Chain A
Amino acid sequence: MNQPLLKIENLRTYFYSRSKHSFVRAVDGVSLEVGQRETVGVVGESGSGKSITAMSVMGLISTGPGVIGGSIHFASARVQKNLLEGLHKCVKVEEQDGRVMAVSKDERGWQKTAERLMRDLRGKEIAMIFQNPRASLNPYITVGEQITEAVRLHTANKSVREARERAVYWLERVKIDSPRLRFNSYPSALSGGMCQRAMIAMALSSEPSLLIADEPTTGLDATIQSKIVDLMEELKSETGISTLLISHDISVISRLSDRVAVMYGGAVVEYGPAQRVLDMGAATKHPYTAALLASVPSAQQIRDKANLQAIEGDVLDTINVPPGCRFYARCNQVTPAVREKCATHQPELQEVAPGHQMRCWRYAVPA
């Protein structure tokens, strides 16, 4: 099947700030794909919208207005559907100069529709692991019981005994030490790294087609981070699962991803094969990606104790989205030829090489 497992098209998720009387344009027209047996890494800083994108896919956005446009096509062997089907009936958007100024949304109606659409998918076809593993586990139930519950809910193993065996099996597979002992432990007794392993076990035990990992290594100690990345690499090759990996840590993304999407200010600015996008020396590079990679201290810089190459200014606040290119204010590669366009018009995401997309006026292919 050549259809991608997950195809997000033009997703828009907005929030509203009452104190500022304006929209927070958290995800503003994001398009991404995750193919079969593929890991797509989404990298970006705070405010880039990467986590919100993941939450939108899982239908976990509850504050208003939330998801207001786009489509999320999910096509696995068992299920094919658009997760945002029927959204257009519940939402009415008013635009002014191409920018959304007012949104009317039937929140309760959409909530019902969304629940119906996601019911068979959440946890079963699409599983998600989160940033703070201990906070995502129920502190009052043992780890083993939680995984057992997941197994019974989402797989064919309905009997308690079978489910428990599966749970132990998965605890072993995530290389947690003394799995039978840990089965009976409460999350508070486990360290961060172990909790994260348990979460991964819980997510994978339902044998989903897609795994969404939202900052799985953030908050863990450096040495543990490395081990979790090792684990994910192994599981990836063993199970062949597709993953949407979200992280601000470029090294984690580069180790695990086949394709990478770079997000800034609520939009994807570069998208292509990992080697191409994360290669510092490449000629075709989005200015933001280039600057981001450059601001991480290199071995040479460390040795020379040189000053780092910081990006001027602050990360884009998605309330005050400028009319032109989002990165214009901080971009150090603006040439006189494109300056005017950068300042006034948002570039589109265009293909600049096979499989490699970029959102930049410098690389724009004339229509």
Chain B
Amino acid sequence: MKKYSQTSSVIEDFSKLPFWQKYAVVDLIYVGYGLLIVALVLLSYILGMFNWLPHDPQQINMDMLMAPPATADYLLGTDFMGRDILSRLIMGIQAYFLPGLLAISISLSGGILLGVVAGYRGGTIETIITYFTNLVDSFPRLVLILLVIAAFKPDIYYIMVVMGITGVPAVATAIANKIRFLAQKNFIEAAIALGLRTRVIIVKHILWYNCRALLIIQATLGMGEAILLETSLSYLGFGVQEPEPSWGNMVQSGANYFLQGNFWPSTAPALAILFTILGFNLLGDGLNNILEDKRDK
């Protein structure tokens, strides 16, 4: 049985409602969780930057090997070398935070540029850009990265530049499609007819009002992907090297101790990866639903 009910008075102005009534609960949960994760990541980055950690992440402590969580001083326990896991997790964020930001800034700026030019100008320019983006898109990202690593050095920044570039097609296509959609609805034509400057039309009407949601989502998803990439590479041994902590290499080195029954040193960073990426993805998802106004008429 599905129940529908209404109050005696009809809601007049929807936009004046408090946000918890306006949007679907699930979206609010997603966004809430996502924002929490972002806050934690940001906080951890700052803590790591100034080294305000509970323990030295490199400090080996042979008496406290493999301590389980909530042992004395060590909130999340210690790993196989007696190092504090919590501090290592916090430090691990250094490995991907700035590089991730680099990657998404490259994707977004490149994507916006190409997308706007292709969508707005159309014609031959659009065809050329489409070919170009398809070309970049068809490169297997991981292979490209390994090539870069082999050719240069396993520097996470180089890797993130590659990731940024390979992320451009997705953004560019999304923006170009959005512009095409708006053009179909006479939107752009009406703005031109009014006499608005091209610059204004693009920045204000297209990007700010209409592509906002799109870009935020690409940014959050991009960050999630960057984290995944960095941790995967570190896991494989191409990224951050021991004893520097990265969630990826923590998982890797902790794996050796699984057979002994010590799951925690590997599981802790794995869970961190899981929950963090989930946070970014859900944030993107939730924001998408909220910003794109997906409520029914």
Task: Show the binding face of A for B, using Cβ within 8 Å.
Answer: 14, 16-23, 64-65, 92, 94, 96, 101-107, 319-320
Closest to A317 in B: B10
Chain A residues closer than 8 Å to B296, beta-carbon distance: 17-19
Q: Does B138 lie at the interface of the complex (its beta carbon under 8 Å from any beta carbon of A)?
A: no
Q: Does B199 lie at the interface of the complex (its beta carbon under 8 Å from any beta carbon of A)?
A: no
Across the interface, A21 reaches (CB within 8 A) one of B1, B3, B7, B297, namely B7
A104–chain B nearest beta-carbon distance, Å: 5
Closest to B297 in A: A17
Contacting pair B2 A102 (CB below 8 A):
no
Across the interface, A102 reaches (CB within 8 A) one of B5, B11, B295, B297, namely B5
B25–chain A nearest beta-carbon distance, Å: 12
Q: Does B8 lie at the interface of the complex (its beta carbon under 8 Å from any beta carbon of A)?
A: yes
Contacting pair B14 A64 (CB below 8 A):
no
Query: Can you sample 27 A-B contacts with CB below 8 Å?
Result: A16-B4, A17-B297, A18-B295, A19-B295, A19-B296, A19-B297, A20-B14, A21-B6, A21-B7, A21-B11, A22-B7, A22-B10, A22-B11, A23-B4, A64-B2, A65-B2, A65-B4, A92-B1, A101-B8, A102-B4, A102-B6, A103-B3, A104-B3, A104-B4, A105-B1, A106-B1, A106-B2
Contacting pair B1 A101 (CB below 8 A):
no
Chain A residues closer than 8 Å to B14, beta-carbon distance: 19-20
Size band of the interface chain B makes with A: 10 to 19
**In the bound complex, how far is the Cα of B10 from the Cα of A320, in angstroms?**
7
Closest to B23 in A: A19
B1–chain A nearest beta-carbon distance, Å: 5
Chain B residues closer than 8 Å to A20, beta-carbon distance: 10-11, 14
A interface, over-half SS: strand
Closest to A97 in B: B8
Closest to B24 in A: A18
**In the bound complex, how far is the Cα of B10 from the Cα of A19, in angstroms?**
11
**In the bound complex, how far is the Cα of B7 from the Cα of A103, in angstroms?**
12
List CB contacts (< 8 Å) of B7-64 with chain A. 7-8, 10-11, 14, 22
B11–chain A nearest beta-carbon distance, Å: 5
Chain B residues closer than 8 Å to A19, beta-carbon distance: 14, 22, 295-297
Closest to B9 in A: A22
**In the bound complex, how far is the Cα of B22 from the Cα of A107, in angstroms?**
26
**In the bound complex, how far is the Cα of B21 from the Cα of A19, in angstroms?**
9
Which 9 A-B pairs have CB atoms at the shortest separation, nearest pair first? A102-B5, A22-B6, A19-B295, A104-B3, A16-B4, A22-B10, A103-B4, A104-B1, A20-B11
Given contacts A22-B7, A104-B1, 19 further A-B contacts (CB under 8 A): A17-B297, A19-B295, A19-B296, A20-B11, A20-B14, A21-B7, A21-B11, A22-B6, A22-B10, A64-B2, A65-B4, A94-B5, A101-B8, A104-B2, A104-B3, A105-B4, A106-B1, A107-B2, A319-B10
Chain B residues closer than 8 Å to A17, beta-carbon distance: 296-297
**In the bound complex, how far is the Cα of B3 from the Cα of A107, in angstroms?**
10
**In the bound complex, how far is the Cα of B6 from the Cα of A107, in angstroms?**
18
A359–chain B nearest beta-carbon distance, Å: 23
B36–chain A nearest beta-carbon distance, Å: 26
Chain B residues closer than 8 Å to A21, beta-carbon distance: 6-7, 11
Contacting pair B6 A23 (CB below 8 A):
yes
**In the bound complex, how far is the Cα of B2 from the Cα of A102, in angstroms?**
11
B20–chain A nearest beta-carbon distance, Å: 13
Chain A residues closer than 8 Å to B22, beta-carbon distance: 19
A348–chain B nearest beta-carbon distance, Å: 23
**In the bound complex, how far is the Cα of B6 from the Cα of A65, in angstroms?**
13
